[in-house]
A and B are shown apart, each in its own frame.
Chain A
């Protein structure tokens, strides 16, 4: 008994594990067999009939999504019979389709558009008027255009099998069939319903938030990690005009499968928040003046070196990258005796698991790098709304660093007694009034970096937006400062900072920037639990 089978697809011999579908076997050869109802994260009902392929010896064409590869099979995905069949199926799909691509959000990433463009008939032969449904608001972020629907039932199966909340169904039958909920009960309150928009192969289910906002071909896609909770779902930032337009999940079977939660998906406007700190400034209160990076860092370096030995307190952030936090810890360590390293981070009262994919949970911690901050020696302070807990820091008379915490609950007295107060942030704050240096840093979407998620997995995110003014990644600013203070080479990239971090922190031992790639890598278990 062997565990593999060898078959021929379109004249190429291919060996695949037993139990591989013809569709997947063809994929290993780089051949995409058209499909609608099949989705790798769902069961396959083989009802869309577009993935039929010719198998020699079989009396009829076979659905490649559920036909398992067998030894010696000879399969043709592109034979005249298969092509003619696909053309026929596509013609049926277009009988009632409104062809409203010019106003459809899916246009440009639509599987119906793609397949018809590739293989469809030039003109449909149907002469009857098309039936018209209009659109239906499903509640939540989901809008349904029945006329565009190809009845693949991916959305119904997602709600049944993955969300385990069977709120969607096929109502009526034949050409009157539409997807719907139970009358006006809708999808409100469902925590993962936004995924039905992602898996819809056509423009039937669209996001209200994204409705008519941008064309698919105008969006840049940047691999990233969802920064809205400590699960760290792998996502893509879709950006246009230097603004994040939407978040989409990116497949990673170790973390989020094909999915992400609605909370994370909807929470991106803060990445586009205007009113940023754009230029470095020095001087307290009324004496604050704009300076350039060179002089800001030189003066800061001189002051830090002169004050070595002072007591240092550090306020970090669970939204900051490992690289920024490690560089901050290094700078603080070089500057003097670090008496506290804290961060504040919001916590939700509940967790929201995805029943059909138990690895994916919207976690208690609503910040991406709580675990990374912990591993890098930062302690949580404050309450579940990320307020309070900075009383002893506020009146500290030594050196004070604040990174990425807007200090929204503190007033202008914060840091008044500090000998040296350095504020690194994307936004100004009343509590930064006494800062000797206000240094503009980039946000999550404008820099490269890595987070440690709640599973103890280190994951990289990439730069999707250009930073405003001369804002710099915090790891670049602090890495340069730490290098100057420590007398070693200045890091030029996030990879350099990460390499230094791995050398300095045993928890990260064995990891390299390249090995993290776009999928991340797990920390050694003893580092997480030890």
Chain B
């Protein structure tokens, strides 16, 4: 994997002042393709990347995922407290949190289905509908807005050929608007899956999308 792929606009923290690669910043073992089982249960929750391939039909939970779920359960005093990481795990596996997923997680944790729905809908980071392979979240809050976030958002929509919140016909891209991504020093900030792309301007958009396409074609 070439370091050049992650040049600006790219990974968070690349201010251009230092000649650092993403691997230097995040640690090389966390960059690139993830093992399909999500990694060792001890470290998986802190991995920066979510699983690349989602399976909406994946069982909740089996094998290493069951191990991770049980680990999560032991880290929290009550089932309620374990709900958010359990939903994270389900979304990592399935790509989105469907009503069926909420129901299954509720049953696994012994919580009421309504309560799980309340939590899942409260947090915008749970996708309540299927999303594309790349979920492109463009910050349109104050700092980014001043730097032309609305135009960046429009550019993403134009180049992916989708409507806001919809998924492109090839299933690769979902473009959404996000509130502050806490990267106000580097507007416009765009979060694609779990990666931050900073200082994104309208001109960068085709290149960012091309890079994502390349990653798909390379099979990550």
* Chain A positions near chain B (C-beta within 8 angstroms): 166-173, 180-183, 185
Residues 89-121 of chain B, each 1 if its beta carbon lies under 8 Å from chain A, else 0: 000000000010011000000001111111001
Given contacts A173-B122, A182-B112, 5 further A-B contacts (CB under 8 A): A169-B118, A182-B103, A182-B113, A182-B116, A185-B113
B36 to chain A, nearest CB (A): 31
Whether B114 contacts A181 by the Cβ 8 Å rule is yes
Q: Which chain A positions have C-beta within 8 A of B112?
A: 166-167, 169, 182
A239 to chain B, nearest CB (A): 36
7 closest cross-chain pairs (CB), A and B? A169-B118, A166-B112, A182-B113, A169-B114, A182-B114, A171-B121, A172-B121
Q: Which chain B positions have C-beta within 8 A of A171?
A: 117-118, 121
CA of A171 to CA of B99, assembled, Å? 13
Q: Which chain B positions have C-beta within 8 A of A166?
A: 112, 114-115
Whether A170 contacts B118 by the Cβ 8 Å rule is yes
CA of A50 to CA of B116, assembled, Å? 28
Q: Which chain B positions have C-beta within 8 A of A172?
A: 121-122
Q: Which chain A positions have C-beta within 8 A of B114?
A: 166-169, 180-182, 185
CA of A171 to CA of B121, assembled, Å? 6
CA of A308 to CA of B113, assembled, Å? 69
Q: Which chain A positions have C-beta within 8 A of B102?
A: 182
Q: Which chain B positions have C-beta within 8 A of A169?
A: 112, 114-115, 117-118
**Most chain A CB inside 10 Å of its own CB: which residue of B99, B103, B112, B116:** B112
Q: Which chain A positions have C-beta within 8 A of B115?
A: 166, 169
Q: Which chain B positions have C-beta within 8 A of A183?
A: 99, 117
Residues 119-153 of chain B, each 1 if its beta carbon lies under 8 Å from chain A, else 0: 00110000000000000000000000000000000
CA of A182 to CA of B101, assembled, Å? 12
What count of chain B residues pass the 8 Å CB interface test?
12
A168 to chain B, nearest CB (A): 6
CA of A167 to CA of B113, assembled, Å? 7
CA of A167 to CA of B102, assembled, Å? 14
A142 to chain B, nearest CB (A): 14
Whether B117 contacts A180 by the Cβ 8 Å rule is yes
B209 to chain A, nearest CB (A): 30
CA of A182 to CA of B118, assembled, Å? 9
B97 to chain A, nearest CB (A): 13
Whether B117 contacts A182 by the Cβ 8 Å rule is yes
A-B contact pairs, 30 of them (CB 8 A): A166-B112, A166-B114, A166-B115, A168-B114, A169-B112, A169-B114, A169-B115, A169-B117, A169-B118, A170-B118, A170-B122, A171-B118, A171-B121, A172-B121, A172-B122, A173-B121, A173-B122, A180-B114, A180-B117, A181-B114, A182-B99, A182-B102, A182-B103, A182-B112, A182-B113, A182-B114, A182-B117, A183-B117, A185-B113, A185-B114
CA of A170 to CA of B120, assembled, Å? 10
CA of A182 to CA of B102, assembled, Å? 9
CA of A76 to CA of B99, assembled, Å? 48
A509 to chain B, nearest CB (A): 49
Closest to B112 in A: A166
Q: Which chain A positions have C-beta within 8 A of B117?
A: 169, 171, 180, 182-183
A166 to chain B, nearest CB (A): 4
B78 to chain A, nearest CB (A): 14
CA of A169 to CA of B121, assembled, Å? 10
CA of A171 to CA of B115, assembled, Å? 9
A308 to chain B, nearest CB (A): 67
Closest to A184 in B: B99
Closest to A176 in B: B121
Q: Which chain B positions have C-beta within 8 A of A180?
A: 114, 117
Q: Which chain B positions have C-beta within 8 A of A185?
A: 113-114
Closest to B128 in A: A172
CA of A185 to CA of B99, assembled, Å? 11
**Most chain B CB inside 10 Å of its own CB: which residue of A167, A169, A171:** A169
B61 to chain A, nearest CB (A): 21
Q: Which chain B positions have C-beta within 8 A of A168?
A: 114
B179 to chain A, nearest CB (A): 10
CA of A182 to CA of B114, assembled, Å? 5
